[in-house]
Amino acid sequence: MKINLPDGSKLDVDNNPTVYSVAEGISKGLARDSVAGEVNGKPVDIYYELNDGDNVKIITSKDKKGLEILRHSTAHLMAHAVKRLFPEAKVTIGPVVEDGFYYDFDIEKPFTPEDLELIEKEMKKLSDAKIDIRRKEMEKDKAVKLFNEMGETYKSEIISEIEEENVSLYEQGDFIDLCRGPHLDNTSKIKHFKLLSVAGAYWRGDERNKMLQRIYGTAWFKKSELDEYLQRLEEAKKRDHRKLGKELELFSSFDEVGSGLICWLPKGSKVRLAIENFWREEHIKNDYEILYTPHIGKANLWQTSGHLDFYSENMYSPMDIEGQEYYIKPMNCPFHIMIYKTKTRSYRDLPLRWAELGTVYRYERSGVLHGLLRVRGFTQDDAHIICTDKQIESEISEVLDFSLNIWKDFGFSSVKGYIATKPEKSVGDEAMWQKATDSLTKAIVKSGIDYELDEGGGAFYGPKIDLKVKDAIGREWQMTTIQFDFNLPERFDMNYIDSDGKEKRPFMVHRALLGSLERFFGVLVEHYAGAFPFWIAPTQIKVLNISDDQLDYCKQLVKKLKGKGFRVEPDYRNEKIGYKIREAQLEKIPHMLIIGKEEVENNTVSVRLRDGKNKNNLDFNEYFDVIKYIDENKSVNLWR
């Protein structure tokens, strides 16, 4: 028999070969690292039997898919352990998620941290037992009967909704689970795992259904990878924006106001104002015009846009105003289009670059709300580019460069692009899709950043670029989106008069650089662990006197610095200077001016930086030049 390999070569194999034997035939190292395979594009188990002429790819522990298979197998191992320890528990679903997995269980008594320790120990016993994991297929009716007899009614419900006549199950010892697979072939290969937490979750995410117990965990092929991940988790806990937001008095939410609705406290508002001012200045420099639009709109606007047909589950109920239905806006786009249609547009008017810090409201279930990262009301740094087909390539290139420069200014140096192309179901003609996709590809290649192609991953109304940034501890965050839209220009009949005097449909691009101010601020807090760069810190400088003898001089300094536009706070309390310095450091103030007798006599300032370094007896003008430089250059350093 001959097997086709990914590089185009053919491999002669004995009769009844498996994915594993093919890997072994290539090299012992590949066989050792093999996890599963892809045969003719379909994922399969390592023991899958091959046919003559099959196209075979080996999935190894070094592949992303290999890691997902390990984690899915670990979720099954956890469910096996739970059933041994808590036979009354019913299993539901156990998918892979980013960096780990979870499994939901129906059990009356919630799991405790002590229970997680017991489950983990039982998992290690099952791993040490070296139990084979094997796939079997079964007719739907027989599978429903099997799971009903086991009391696993959730599995029966899932099977009844599957369209195929047969379903696949996986057995490991006395445990059997419904799953498409593939999986590892033996429990002994699941070695490095950790159960992390437990939370409540509604069955199928619907609060009308029963509350289940969700156990989260993680698994890795190497102990060093697990240890490194757990260390990152500990660091992430220290950087949690919800914890730091409270400690640094940046933002809050209140039951009396409503879940997912953020109140910005004075210090957080100062950071937001600095971000907004910078955002507006940069947009004006890049030839954008700033718009303002209402928070509500009549129902027929959202009917025309398609939101009532395709997005209504994310919108809030309408309000009645003089017999007309109005909806609070989930997006800004229809308002910008209405502004476009206020007059006839010529090709000479284009491109139009319109930006708005528009606050929108979207319904999110309470179970998914998460600090600033998932909210119900948020302010998008929204923009729309409306242009001709001849302008699209240069416009995309410019907006991508603009975005990368913005991320650089905020101190994010690792950025990766993801191009999502045309899905099976789409609107817009083929030529528009091709031109739009080509413009995205050329722009990202020209930028020089790493990128991946997501074939078929675009929205039905247009291709897009997503930019993900890495924070200080290596986590990747989805932020910027540059999204073509072939749908709304059709729905609203947008046109312009071209040079030939004929009406043509413009290209329209949705563009959010930061995503939303709330989510971006949460990421920013965690990236810097609350120690913001000087240029956006809520308090840039704190002036501390050693005794009352320096009060007049300190007040003059505060007045001068505020007059120059810096955010300054005095601390004139009758406390020891060491105490005042420690408090300022806990507040993560970038610069502390320590003013004593010598500074007053010499007309100087002594600066203590947040990192503990000191710059003593500086002439005020010399100090002013330094802070002006680091402020204007958006430096992440505390000193020039």
For 513-548, how does the pLDDT look when each residue is reduced to its tens digit (9 = 90+)?
Answer: 999 999 999 999 999 999 999 999 999 999 999 999
Identify the active-site residue in 384, 475, 591, 610.
384
123: burial class by Cβ within 10 Å (0-12, 13-18, 19+)?
Answer: buried
Pair 89, 190: CB distance under 8 Å: no
Alpha carbon distance 454, 451 (integer Å): 10
Alpha carbon distance 133, 117 (integer Å): 24
Alpha carbon distance 309, 313 (integer Å): 9
Cα–Cα nearest to 475, from 195, 205, 241, 638? 241
Task: Provide, rounded to the nearest whole percent, the portion of the chain with pLDDT above 90.
Answer: 91
Residue 80 annotated as catalytic: no
Q: Which amino acid is at 361?
A: Y
Identify the active-site residue in 177, 185, 382, 466.
382
Residue 179 annotated as catalytic: no
* 496 DSSP β-pair partners: 504
Q: Where are the beta strands (DSSP E) in 73-210?
A: 90-91, 96-97, 100-106, 133-139, 166-172, 175-178, 192-202
pTM: 0.86
pLDDT tens string 556-573: 999 999 999 999 999 999
Question: What's the mean pLDDT when you consider all of the chain?
Answer: 94
pLDDT at 368 over 90: no
CA triple 78-80-83, angle to 5 deg: 110
More confident position, 253 or 206: 253
Cα–Cα nearest to 326, from 288, 305, 296? 296
Burial 346-365, CB ≥16 within 10 A → b, else e: ebeebbbbbbbbbbbbbebe
Residue 362 annotated as catalytic: yes
Q: Using DSSP bridges, classify how beta strands 451-454 and 464-470 pair: parallel, antiparallel or unpaired.
A: unpaired
pLDDT at 599 over 90: yes
pLDDT of 481 reads: 95
Phi, psi of 176 (to 5 degrees): -135, 140
Would you place residue 93 in the very low, low, confident or very high pLDDT band (cuts 50, 70, 90)?
very high
pLDDT at 83 over 80: yes
pLDDT of 106 reads: 95
pLDDT tens string 243-264: 999 999 999 999 999 999 999 9
Identify the active-site residue in 172, 213, 380, 391.
380
- Look up residue 105 and give its two tokens: 């269980």
Identify the active-site residue in 57, 272, 333, 376.
333
Alpha carbon distance 482, 469 (integer Å): 15
Residues 229-246, mean pLDDT to the nearest whole number: 95
pLDDT tens string 320-342: 999 999 999 999 999 999 999 99
Alpha carbon distance 409, 636 (integer Å): 9
Ordered by where they begin, the domains of the chain are: 2-60 (3.10.20.30), 65-229 (3.30.980.10), 269-293+329-528 (3.30.930.10), 541-632 (3.40.50.800)
Would you place residue 13 in the very low, low, confident or very high pLDDT band (cuts 50, 70, 90)?
confident
pLDDT at 98 over 90: no
**423 prior amide bond cis, ω within 30:** no
Count CB neighbours of 79 within 10 A.
24
pLDDT of 206 reads: 77
Please enumerate in sequence order all residues whose Cβ is within 8 A of that of 632, keeping only pairs 6 or more positions apart, or say none: 535
Identify the active-site residue in 83, 214, 464, 591.
464
Helix residue spans in 129-215 (DSSP H): 140-150, 153-160
pLDDT tens string 373-431: 999 999 999 999 999 999 999 999 999 999 999 999 999 999 999 999 999 888 888 88
SS3 28: helix
Would you place residue 16 in the very low, low, confident or very high pLDDT band (cuts 50, 70, 90)?
confident
Residue 324 annotated as catalytic: no
Alpha carbon distance 482, 420 (integer Å): 10
pLDDT tens string 146-182: 999 999 999 999 999 998 899 999 999 999 999 999 9
Identify the active-site residue in 72, 510, 511, 588.
510
pLDDT tens string 300-315: 999 999 999 989 999 9
User: Chain centroid to CA 294: how far?
Assistant: 28
pLDDT of 159 reads: 94
Alpha carbon distance 480, 520 (integer Å): 10
Residue 134 annotated as catalytic: no
Residues 453-481, mean pLDDT to the nearest whole number: 93
- Please compute Rg for the chain using Cα positions: 30
Pair 505, 555: CB distance under 8 Å: no
- Look up residue 531 and give its two tokens: 């120690």
pLDDT at 208 over 90: no
pLDDT of 367 reads: 76
Identify the active-site residue in 83, 329, 345, 362.
362
Q: Where are the beta strands (DSSP E) in 493-590?
A: 496-497, 503-504, 507-516, 541-545, 568-571
